[in-house]
Amino acid sequence: MIDGTTLDFKDRSQIVRLAGYEAPRLEQTAVSDGVEWPAGQVAKAWMILRTLKRDVNCAPVARDANKNLIAHCFVGETNLAATAIAEGIGYAFNYKNEPQVPAYFDIERKARGLGFGVWSSQDLLPPWLFVAVTAQEKKPGGQAPDIFEPGLPLPPPVAPDARDPSKKSNGG
The least confident of 1-5, 48-52, 152-156 is 152-156
pLDDT > 70 in the chain, percent: 80
Matching CATH number, 6-155, of 3.90.550.10, 3.30.420.40, 1.10.10.10, 2.40.50.90: 2.40.50.90
Could you report the per-residue pLDDT of 81-101, keeping only the tens digit for each?
999 999 999 999 988 888 889
pLDDT > 90 in the chain, percent: 62
Could you report the per-residue pLDDT of 23-53, keeping only the tens digit for each?
999 999 999 999 999 999 999 999 999 999 9
The least confident of 117-131, 132-146, 155-169 is 155-169
- Structural domain boundaries in the chain: 6-155
pLDDT reading at 162 higher than 60? no
CA-closest candidate to residue 69, choices 58, 79, 85, 81: 58
Phi and psi at 23, nearest 5°, equal -115, 160
Could you report the per-residue pLDDT of 135-153, keeping only the tens digit for each?
888 766 655 454 444 444 4
According to the model, what pLDDT value does residue 164 have? 44
pLDDT reading at 165 higher than 80? no
d(CA 9, CA 2): 10
CA-closest candidate to residue 38, choices 89, 108, 72: 89
Question: Where is pLDDT greater, at 155 or 76?
Answer: 76
pLDDT reading at 166 higher than 60? no
